[in-house]
Amino acid sequence: MQDTVFNALADLALSTTGQSIAPSKAYLMEARLAGIARREGFGTLDDLVHCLESRQNPVFRAEVAAALLSRDTWFFRDRGSLEFLMRTKLANALAASPSGRVRIWCAGGSTGQEAYSLAMLLEDDPLPGAKIEILSTDICKQATEKGRLGTYGHYEVQRGLPIQRLLQHFTRLDSGDWQASEALRSRVSFRTHNLIEPAGGLGKFEIILCRNVLSGMARPARVRLAESLANQLSAGGTILLAEGEALYGLTDRLEPSSDLRFGWVAAGTANARAITAA
């Protein structure tokens, strides 16, 4: 790949999604943009970049930028954290909610496996009277549409999804794919959203999962995202990041949770809870 092509695509990713792509990852650009290039009839990425620069089509630019992001996700990723989150943090949020309404946001939820994992935990351990809303957002329209359909290929359902839950919550289609049950799909809503843009329109959430997103961002974008997460977190709420991710130095409004690995809460609350519990 020519340096000019790489630089143009890297600049697009940085300005649109906050993602920082190193030159050593140029091969990922080629792999992630191969489908768009074939569809549009581009012989090379140089042709694709020329189109981006000459036509100035904001919809196409957004599609290309979204395609440059990692879509890697699977069912029940870090299962222990998910189960603790739903067993303990959800119970605490319900206890503090007069209406029994709790909202969960899967930020950067890709094609929906994370959101459906939470939905399966709720289906398998019902909470009578609780009103649990799960929202999964992603910048990629194609990813959110796939999640809304709840249809996954054989390889996708093999990643993290126990056979018992597959047979209980999914139906095999004539195509060979598997589709989440209507009951499961009714628990999750999907929306396109760019995480470096304000999220006020999404409302507040008692539980936010934002995993494997921060690590790929340039620092200014990480700061913006950290502030956005703090803005959308309800009082007493919890944010769950992925292993190796943290918010140190990005915002003074959040601090590590005292009882959840990779969890974050509003500043000034984690130690207070630990002292009270003791």
Helices (H) and strands (E) in the chain, counts: 13, 10
Please state the pTM of the whole predicted model.
0.92
Summarize the confidence of residues 57-71 as an average pLDDT: 91
> Under a CB-based contact definition with an 8 Å cutoff, are residues 102 and 131 in contact?
yes
CA distance 50 to 20: 21
CA distance 218 to 199: 19
Q: What is the pLDDT of residues 108-157, one digit of tens each?
A: 999 999 999 999 999 999 888 899 999 999 999 999 999 999 999 999 99
Q: What is the pLDDT of residues 162-192, one digit of tens each?
A: 999 999 999 999 999 999 999 999 999 999 9
**Parallel, antiparallel, or unpaired for β 178-180 and 151-152?**
antiparallel
Residue 271 is predicted with a pLDDT of 56
The SS3 assignment for 214 reads helix
Per the DSSP assignment, residues forming a β-bridge with 101 are 131
> Under a CB-based contact definition with an 8 Å cutoff, are residues 221 and 18 in contact?
yes
Residue 270 is predicted with a pLDDT of 66
Q: What is the DSSP string of 6-33?
A: HHHHHHHHHHHH-B---GGGHHHHHHHH
Residue 56 is predicted with a pLDDT of 82
